[in-house]
Structure 1
Amino acid sequence: MNANPSRPKPIDPVLSQPSNAVAAYARSNPFMFGLLGALGVLVALMIGSIVGQLATVLVYVGVAVFLALGLDPIVTFIEKRLPRPAAVTMVVAGVLAAFAGIILAIVPLLVEQISNLINDGPQMIEDFIASDWFADVSGQFGSTIDESVQGGLDFVKDPDNFLDIGGGVFAVGAGIAGGLTGVTIVLILTLYFMVSLRSMKRVAVRFVPAYHRDTFSELLEDVSGAVGRYVIGQASLALTNGILSLIFLSIIGAPVPALLALIAFIGSMIPLVGTLSASIIISLICLFASPTTALISIIYYLVYMQIEAYVLSPRIMSKAVAVPGALVVIAAVGGGALGGILGALVAIPVAASVIIIVQKVVFPAQDNKKAPPAVTAR
């Protein structure tokens, strides 16, 4: 039986949709295919350029979110007794007061001590050259060390050389001003994120299908809690190191003890290598006071690092994040390689978040998978 000639031909479903028609035409036309590929590459390059230009802003936002999550446990604790706006206000006021107190207490002292260091620097170098220890070292290694130190001393004593480094001083001042601007921006963003943290979480949950929202919400709370506990634990370790360093360095008569204590505090915020690096820098600066002061500083920090590694850090961080030691090392090294100091700082809470996701999402999904029924031969 012949088909009805008046019956319309079936429409190809691929060509019936404009996007599919364009794709089919591109596949059949090599020039169009190459043009679409080139346009895709250009769009990717444009997006990469935009992200590169906004890198500083993205870093500010990331640090602000990190700090907001770190302060959220304190807000939650106060919220048990006061409304959330009052709790956020108290925490923000406490942070601002602590920041202002550090500036008012340390900056004038740092200016005074750095000024004294500049004024007494040539005399300290001369005393260092005249010491018996330097005479023994220069006697063993020849006159090269003596000539190098004497050249540095002549450079410091010549006022004309300060004009040559004026541009560098101006650049340093501009960098400090930029750093203060960045700190101010981060503090403002942290304030906004702390106030709107719960609404941000609710919006994030809305992007997940309804049947997964309860699980995702619980997972989000666990991850944010781990980050917050880690920030508080790391800040506690750094504050302990900074206070003890200030007391100890003031007792042994180290130069600029407030500045050295600030270096110890900042170094302790960096996992693994931060305390060691800060200890080396502090010991080298103490060498200008006397070799004995530097030796005492080295012994102190060797003892402190053992106490921090085996007493303080396990007691504080075990309640913050449960990350195996090997993963801590891998995460800190990898984060430092990818993002520098900031990458090393956030690497451990990221590793803790990944562990939480694996334990609460991946493992249950794998446990629910059953083996297919065996096929029996008939």
Structure 2
Amino acid sequence: MKIHNAFSIGLFGGLGVIVALGIGAAVGNLATILTYVGAALFIALGLDPLVSFLERHKWKRSLAILTVLAGVLGAFTGLVFAIIPVVTDQITTLVAQLQTIIPTVFTPGFRDDLQETIPWLDVDTVFNQADSFLQDLDVLSIGGGVLAAGVTIANAVFGTIIVLILTLYFVSSLASIKRALFQLVPASKRAQFVDLAEQVSASVGRFVMGQGALALVNGVLSFILLTFVFQVKYSALLAFIAVIGSLIPLVGTLTSAIVITLGVLLFEGPGWQVVAVGIYYLVYMQVEAYVISPRIMNSAVQVPGVVVVLAALIGGTLLGVLGALVAIPVAASVLLIIKQVFVPRQNAL
């Protein structure tokens, strides 16, 4: 009898392991789809405060949702037809410029100038190694790399469209999704769960709106100064980089500032441009950290600085840029749950 029980336990245990592995494999295969759903839900929660704001000003919810969705579609359309062509044109011009610059690198005069500038560098060895590397390149591998890059770009465009469609759906049906979720909670604990869920939802929404506002401020200021004050080449492309970088918490603004400054140097801008752009972003990062960000994000999330850093690092390691973006409101939600659920239970013991 004992042997039979041991065999049954082992059999069910093995079946449990197999089921767990199957679930893990399924989740792994659905990782991309789950990322799309998570990103769309995250954006929808960020747009929900706009719907609530319009509702508080005597708008019907259906009209408020329609207005917000129209604004999202208008912004996306404007991005496609106004900004993207400019950025694409500047990228094309940059590639053409690089095609004229790169051949001059292998001229004897460039070697002599480089050797005089950096006397401790063995220029001949570096150029010989570069030449042998170029000769060893396989045309098929290059073609495969170009094809892979094209597939990656196509997947990114497809993913953006999917996220946009899911975002529109989630914004229009967020209230019904919440009600369906609340029905799954026992009635005795439903009131507390609803209150906590609404606080978490509001916290995430305020964070998304605040981060978007920071990115918009950085992008607009970058475009104005780079175009009209510093007169930098490819200012629209660099301002677009500033917007994308500012969406990433903590390190995004710093990273985009470094990339933009190096971009000005790469575009052969005069020395004063490089120095001026670098000084501007040093000043802007201080103003953003101590003036703009506290005013915008003060009511969004209340998270200690150490937790912010750890959450962003963990989220970025697990899910990349999306993880770093989602990590801070998730950390705020966890702290809120600990404060309102775990701590009172501990105090009641």
| Structure 1 length-normalised TM | 0.81
* Aligned mates of 2:306, 2:46 — CA distance in 1: 24
Q: Deviations over 1:100-126 (max 9, x none)?
A: 101111222122212221222244455
8 Å contact from structure 1 (residues 64, 186) kept in 2: yes
8 Å contact from structure 1 (residues 235, 269) kept in 2: yes
* Aligned mates of 2:40, 2:304 — CA distance in 1: 27
8 Å contact from structure 2 (residues 115, 121) kept in 1: no
Partner residue, 1:183: 160
* Aligned mates of 1:57, 1:295 — CA distance in 2: 44
8 Å contact from structure 2 (residues 115, 123) kept in 1: no
Q: Deviations over 1:30-77 (max 9, x none)?
A: 333322222111111111111111111111111111111100000011
The answer to whether the aligner puts 1:31 opposite 2:7 as a matched pair is: yes
* Aligned mates of 1:144, 1:237 — CA distance in 2: 47
The answer to whether the aligner puts 1:45 opposite 2:2 as a matched pair is: no
SS in 2 for 1:299: helix
* Aligned mates of 1:135, 1:109 — CA distance in 2: 38
Partner residue, 1:267: 245
* Aligned mates of 1:338, 1:120 — CA distance in 2: 38
Partner residue, 1:216: 193
The answer to whether the aligner puts 1:290 opposite 2:283 as a matched pair is: no
Alignment CA distance shift 1:98-1:149 (3 Å):
farther
SS in 1 for 2:19: helix
SS in 1 for 2:299: coil
1:249 is displaced (CA, Å) by 2.2
Report the more deviating stretch, 89-98 or 195-204.
195-204
Partner residue, 1:20: none
SS in 1 for 2:119: helix
Matches within 5 A, 1:92-107: 92-107=69-84
Higher relative contact order (CA 8 A, sep 6+): 2
1:273 is displaced (CA, Å) by 1.1
Alignment CA distance shift 1:116-1:323 (3 Å):
same
1:296 is displaced (CA, Å) by 2.5
The answer to whether the aligner puts 1:90 opposite 2:76 as a matched pair is: no
Code of the residue aligned with 2:189 in structure 1: it is: H
Between the aligned residues of both structures, percent identity stands at 50
**What is the root-mean-square deviation in Å for CA atoms of aligned residues?**
3.0
SS in 1 for 2:118: helix
1:202 is displaced (CA, Å) by 1.4
Code of the residue aligned with 2:22 in structure 1: it is: M
The answer to whether the aligner puts 1:280 opposite 2:258 as a matched pair is: yes
The answer to whether the aligner puts 1:360 opposite 2:336 as a matched pair is: no
8 Å contact from structure 1 (residues 72, 228) kept in 2: yes
Partner residue, 1:5: none
Structure number with larger C-alpha Rg: 1
Alignment CA distance shift 1:367-1:148 (3 Å):
farther
Partner residue, 1:197: 174
Partner residue, 2:89: 112
Report the more deviating stretch, 136-145 or 202-211.
136-145
1:163 is displaced (CA, Å) by 8.5
